[in-house]
Structure 1
Amino acid sequence: MSFVPEPVGRRERNKQQKLDRITAAATELFAERGVDEVTTQQIAEKADVGTGTVFLYAKTKGELLLLVQNANYSDALERGRSDAETVSDVLDAVMAIIEPIVRCNRTQVDNGRTYLREMVFGNPEEPHHAEALAIVVRTEEAVAAVLRRSERVGEAAAATLAHVVSAIMFLAMAATVDKDRSVDEIVKNIRAQVSALLP
């Protein structure tokens, strides 16, 4: 017996279309002006929805940024994971995972730093925040898988090292002292720190 999915109803299609418009509007406005310079009213007007409708999909502007950035971070992680599969050196493979994430974060530096702040300090019960934390977990799992290629790194050590690598990466992207550094400078800094960790 074959399974035939039920067609999506009009109400669900309308909800998805509104979400798509809100996401597109927020993406464009955040990229143009930065998250701090955009109001939810401006996003609502650009998306052609009421402000109350925006808050049905994201309760705060921080959640809106998480909504927008989560897809970008997931894509960056998948690119990095794919690239790492073809790299034999463990450090190079770890950096293959990290570099696209750093590039994604630095597309709009203030938005990237705000995204990380929201990820750390936001409400983990909000759906977009929970999704951001899930991306962190997937990143650490990808790094741990690479670290386990080394005969000197066991399962538990790989998970712990991956968590430390994640902390190094996020701190390097978020730190005020690194705000004006280029992607290449940040990647080089992360590489030096990760290299010192590896057995």
Structure 2
Amino acid sequence: MSSQQQPHGRRERNKQEKLERITAAAHELFLERGVDEVTTQQIADKADIGTGTLFLYAKTKSELLLLVQNSSYQDALSVGKARAAQTVDALGAIMAIVRPVVECNRKQVDNGRTYLREIVFGDPEEPYHLAALTLTVQTENEFAAVLGRGGATDPARAAALAHIVSAVMFLAMAATINIGKSVDEIVLEIEDQVRVLVG
């Protein structure tokens, strides 16, 4: 029994190791050149795998971008959640969540904008796209938790306000007019709008 489980464990570890190599290679190349300037062959070469193997993990370059950005987004959301927990006022706590998300999205502006477009228009049945949508829901839940602290806002209203905050944040990051803006400028734009909602 033990000898049967060991190869399965090794196979799973090998799959995870390849996935990590693919993610690291795609992350580095996308950050350096932008998603539009990178080929799947270049990613496979950098990850030291065959292109066929790459397509077992992600069928398209868009899926690879989702894989990479989802990982960064998850990390950013964790940072924001921790910072929000240490911030007393609602506006400050919401912005503590917003800032790392904006920072992660703006590391490479075209990648960030393409990622947001994939979230909105991509195939929700595709696993990496579903993971991205799940992250947006988690973000809204964090906003709602801040707004509902201590019963300050009833849960339904907090959820509605959180949805608006999320929309404001994503639109500010995706808007063509904001391409040249810095992280600080985008965060300030979001904060000005959120302040109207939370007072």
Question: What is the TM-score of this pair, normalised by structure 2?
Answer: 0.93
Contact kept? 1:90, 1:150, Cα under 8 Å: no
**Runs of 4 or more above 4 Å deviation:** none
Query: Are residue 157 (structure 1) and residue 186 (structure 2) matched?
Result: no
Root mean square deviation of aligned Cα: 1.3
Query: Are residue 141 (structure 1) and residue 141 (structure 2) matched?
Result: yes
After the TM superposition, which residues 4-43 of structure 1 pair with which residues of structure 2 at under 5 Å, given as runs? 7=6, 9-43=9-43
Query: Are residue 168 (structure 1) and residue 168 (structure 2) matched?
Result: yes
After the TM superposition, which residues 49-64 of structure 1 pair with which residues of structure 2 at under 5 Å, given as runs? 49-64=49-64
Tell me how far apart the structure 2 counterparts of residues 10 and 99 of structure 1 sit (CA, whole Å). Answer: 39
Gaps of 5+ in 2: none
Q: Which has the higher helix share?
A: 2
Tell me how far apart the structure 2 counterparts of residues 47 and 111 of structure 1 sit (CA, whole Å). Answer: 20
Tell me how many residue pairs correspond in the alignment: 194
Tell me how far apart the structure 1 counterparts of residues 17 and 94 of structure 2 sit (CA, whole Å). Answer: 38
Query: Are residue 67 (structure 1) and residue 63 (structure 2) matched?
Result: no
Displacement after TM superposition at 1:60 (Å): 1.2
Tell me how far apart the structure 1 counterparts of residues 10 and 97 of structure 2 sit (CA, whole Å). Answer: 40
Residues 121-145 of structure 1: CA deviation (Å, up to 9, x unaligned): 1111111111111111110000000
Amino acid in the other structure paired with 2:124: P
Tell me how far apart the structure 1 counterparts of residues 123 and 21 of structure 2 sit (CA, whole Å). Answer: 24
Displacement after TM superposition at 1:119 (Å): 1.1
Displacement after TM superposition at 1:67 (Å): 0.5
Query: Are residue 191 (structure 1) and residue 191 (structure 2) matched?
Result: yes
Tell me how far apart the structure 1 counterparts of residues 176 and 132 of structure 2 sit (CA, whole Å). Answer: 21
Amino acid in the other structure paired with 1:33: R
Tell me how far apart the structure 2 counterparts of residues 35 and 172 of structure 1 sit (CA, whole Å). Answer: 21
Displacement after TM superposition at 1:150 (Å): 6.4
Amino acid in the other structure paired with 1:45: D
Displacement after TM superposition at 1:37 (Å): 0.3
Question: What is the TM-score of this pair, normalised by structure 1?
Answer: 0.93
Name whichever of 10-19 and 41-50 sits farther off. Answer: 10-19
Tell me how far apart the structure 2 counterparts of residues 191 and 155 of structure 1 sit (CA, whole Å). Answer: 22
Displacement after TM superposition at 1:151 (Å): 4.8
Tell me how far apart the structure 2 counterparts of residues 151 and 131 of structure 1 sit (CA, whole Å). Answer: 30
Tell me how far apart the structure 1 counterparts of residues 86 and 11 of structure 2 sit (CA, whole Å). Answer: 44
Tell me how far apart the structure 2 counterparts of residues 160 and 55 of structure 1 sit (CA, whole Å). Answer: 39
Contact kept? 1:81, 1:97, Cα under 8 Å: yes
Amino acid in the other structure paired with 2:51: T
Displacement after TM superposition at 1:16 (Å): 1.7
1:114 paired residue number: 114
Query: Are residue 129 (structure 1) and residue 125 (structure 2) matched?
Result: no
Displacement after TM superposition at 1:93 (Å): 0.7
Partner-residue secondary structure (3-state), 1:77? helix
Tell me how far apart the structure 2 counterparts of residues 94 and 150 of structure 1 sit (CA, whole Å). Answer: 15
1:80 paired residue number: 80
Tell me how far apart the structure 2 counterparts of residues 155 and 183 of structure 1 sit (CA, whole Å). Answer: 31
